Structure 1
Amino acid sequence: MQKMNRGILTAVSSIAIAQGLKILTHKVLKGEWDVKQVATTGGMPSSHSAGVAALTSYIASNKGSRHTETALATIFGVIVMYDAQGVRRHTGEIAALVNDLEDNLATISGDYPSMEFVEREKELKELLGHQPVEVLGGAILGGALGFLSAKYENK
């Protein structure tokens, strides 16, 4: 039976650990335990960043910084982290504005019976991306886990 690819296992484990840590960071920041945080996007630390940083540091530790695989993982990681704190975060901010606008239209439509307004059953999801510090937290976590995984494997 073949073993699972250690790089994939390291990255997936880092993602899972980061998602689990969101429960703890939510408790620290909000003062309440919320197990649902394990299944959320956004929050501290970024599991996207943890996964790509773990893969990159694992490959770099095994192959060296000048290897093509390290370059590929690094560029892939930078794109993922940029997207997590840029495009996805801004999408969440736009969703918040749309949800507020819809709430305001619902209020206004009550004052004007001739105005037809059908409210959606579900609001848009607002917490999609990450603040830069959350991306950095995930990158540090993943980088450390990838390095440790490579060092443990090589013993």
Structure 2
Amino acid sequence: MDEVMTGSDASSSFRSTSSQPSVFPSNTPLLSAFLAFALAQFLKLFTTWFKEKRWDSRRMLGSGGMPSSHTATVTALAVAIGLQEGTGAPTFAIALVLACVVMYDATGVRLHAGRQAELLNQIVCELPPDHPVSNVRPLRDSLGHTPLQVAAGAVLGSIVAFLMRSSN
């Protein structure tokens, strides 16, 4: 059975199958996710300075901290898909479930693993110098996020997705 395309369907179909090469992909959800991640990582420089009164450029590459870049990424992806395809689309459902899993993991498993690493590092520091594990490299303890850091990442990701949508 042949399907008839409406004007907007035909134009979007034409854009996506056009043979014109593009320097940048026109995938708004993907670009929103990458931009939200980059912004969140960049903002960690300033939130670290505000909290610790020192500049630490390594925060731009690390996990943990304010805001959650993982949350910003998956939230921007889900919101952009919801805006583009509607909240009834299967792709939105997938992105929303992925976002929920990432946010749950960030405030649950990863947060507690980081707290355990902090405690283990403290125990190792108190060992006598001749103990076999006294010279072990410290474990990374900034793995997870507080609920506030996750909420900030979600707000950032949503804002990025809305701004990217309105710029198209």
Residue 37 of structure 2 corresponds to: 15
Aligned twin of 2:73 = 51
Higher helix share: 1
Instruction: Count residues in correspondence.
Output: 146
Please, which moves more after superposition, 31-40 or 86-95? 31-40
> For residue 120 of structure 2, what is the amino acid of its counterpart?
V
State the Cα distance separating 1:64 from its structure 2 match.
Answer: 1.2
1:76 aligned onto 2:98: yes
- Contact kept, 8 Å, 2:124 with 2:133, in 1: the verdict is no
Name the TM-score, length of structure 2 as normaliser.
Answer: 0.81
Residues of 1 paired with 2:48 and 2:136: CA distance? 27
Aligned residues: CA RMSD: 1.5
Identity of aligned residues (%): 36
1:143 matched to which residue of 2?
A: 158
Give the gaps of 5 or more residues in structure 2. Answer: 1-20
Q: Give yes or no for contact 1:23–1:35 (8 Å, CA) kept in 2.
A: yes
Is 1:103 the counterpart of 2:118? The answer is no
Supply the AA of the counterpart residue of 1:8: L
**Structure 2 counterpart of 1:34, from 56, 72, 91:** 56
Following superposition, the deviation at residue 29 of structure 1 comes to 1.3
Off by >4 Å, runs of 4+ in structure 1 = none
Structure with greater Cα Rg: 2
The higher-RCO structure (CA 8 Å, 6+ apart) is 1
User: Deviation at 1:151?
Assistant: 2.3
Write the letter of the residue equivalent to 1:53.
T
Shift of 1:118: 3.8
Alpha-carbon offset, residue 65 of structure 1: 1.3
Query: Deviation at 1:27?
Result: 1.3
Query: Structure 1: which 5+ runs fail to align?
Result: 110-115
Offset, 1:99: 1.1
**Residue aligned with 1:97, SS:** helix
